[in-house]
Amino acid sequence: MKLSFRSQPLCGLYLVNAKTRIMINSTQVSYFTLSAYFDTGGFKYLYFMIILSLYILIICANLLLIVIICMNRSLHEPMYIFLCSLFVNELYGSTGLFPMLLVQILSDIHTVSVPFCFLQIFCVYSYVCVEFSNLAVMSYDRYLAICYPLQYNTQMTYNKVLLLIALSWLYSFFTIFILISLIAPLQLCGNIINKVYCLNYSIVKLACSETRVNNIYGLIITFLTVFGPLILILYTYMKILQVCFSGSKQTRQKAFSTCTPHVASLLNFSFGVCFEILQSRFDMKSVYSMLQIVLSLYFLTCQPLFNPLMYGLNMSKICIICKRLLLNFVIKCGSQS
């Protein structure tokens, strides 16, 4: 009894010391410092113009294809409606990055407020979720079109298309909202993020409080968001390849023309996201710092520009309409001059 009686104060003293230590180490963080930026001197205006030009090009390319798909009734088919959702997501994701990136390039103090940092995490992560979901839904659409062409119109109805798009967006927003709600109450022991934009895991690593739930949920979301859609896409393309090898030459040509842009987009985006996951979770100090920054921005900068160019050039209907619009514009300019 004496032993148990003496152990209670010791245990209580240990808990008090642990709580005191956390209270001393943790601070009321009101902003984060993005330490991956470095002094570029007079070159910052050059970098600003390059990033601004890239952002304007992304906006123009994606908006052009969205308008073309919406204004032409011949493109009101499931495949093009899914593409429209994809282009809208490119605008959404790039807007979550570029405005803040442009401000930080010109700024001498690279700080961001906590609410804005959480908002950027929500935009970037939901963009990734929607992108993979869209690509998975598009692969399912191509699977039905190539493997079951006679049942395609009855299987992929207009209402089903809208439902799949709505589920892709709502699922992404809901899962990332939970992610934000888990990191918001964390007690932080610092405010320095070694990135050029805010990331969930970078904030979790700053926490003094328990982060087991954050880590488990982060791994679950990573699997469901990245590897889940990849498994579905891999399965659909295995079925498509089986049909192509056993089908006619016309079937192979149709599959090649419609699936090539999708595969290229998937590989491009997966490379960027997988590198960012590896860079966030593991020590990559051996990689040159400038290369780390470029590769961490890859899936947020190249994908929004890659998709409209790839689909615009490879989709025959879109390509014909773009050429027609360009020709009309040239003729109009020539007649005015």
Question: Facing residues of 31 across strands?
Answer: 113
Question: pLDDT tens digit string along 13-64?
Answer: 333 343 333 333 445 678 898 888 877 777 888 889 999 999 999 999 999 8
Token pair recorded at residue 116: 């804005």
User: Residue 162: which residues within 8 A CB-CB, separation 6 or more?
Assistant: 81
Which domains, ranges and CATH numbers included, belong to the chain?
Answer: 30-336 (1.20.1070.10)
* Residue (of 53, 68, 127) closest to 92 by Cα position: 127
Question: pLDDT tens digit string along 256-288?
Answer: 777 888 888 889 898 888 888 887 777 666 667
What is the crossing angle of helices 44-71 and 298-314, to 10°? 40
Burial class (CB in 10 A: 0-12, 13-18, 19+), 252: middle
208 with 189: CB under 8 angstroms?
A: yes
Enter the pTM of the model.
0.85
Burial class (CB in 10 A: 0-12, 13-18, 19+), 57: middle
72 pLDDT exceeds 80?
A: yes
Across the chain, what does the average pLDDT equal? 82
CA distance 212 to 160: 38
CA distance 104 to 112: 9
Q: pLDDT-based confidence at 6, cuts 50/70/90?
A: very low
Q: pLDDT-based confidence at 248, cuts 50/70/90?
A: confident
Percent of the chain with pLDDT over 70: 85
What is the arithmetic mean of pLDDT over 165-175? 95
What is the arithmetic mean of pLDDT over 140-167? 91
Res 27: pLDDT? 52
What is the arithmetic mean of pLDDT over 152-179? 93
Res 261: pLDDT? 84
* Residue (of 331, 244, 316) closest to 80 by Cα position: 316
Backbone angles phi, psi at 188, to 5 degrees: -110, 140
Question: pLDDT tens digit string along 82-107?
Answer: 999 999 999 999 999 999 999 888 88
CA distance 246 to 330: 46
Res 242: pLDDT? 83
Question: pLDDT tens digit string along 284-314?
Answer: 666 677 777 888 888 888 899 989 888 876 6
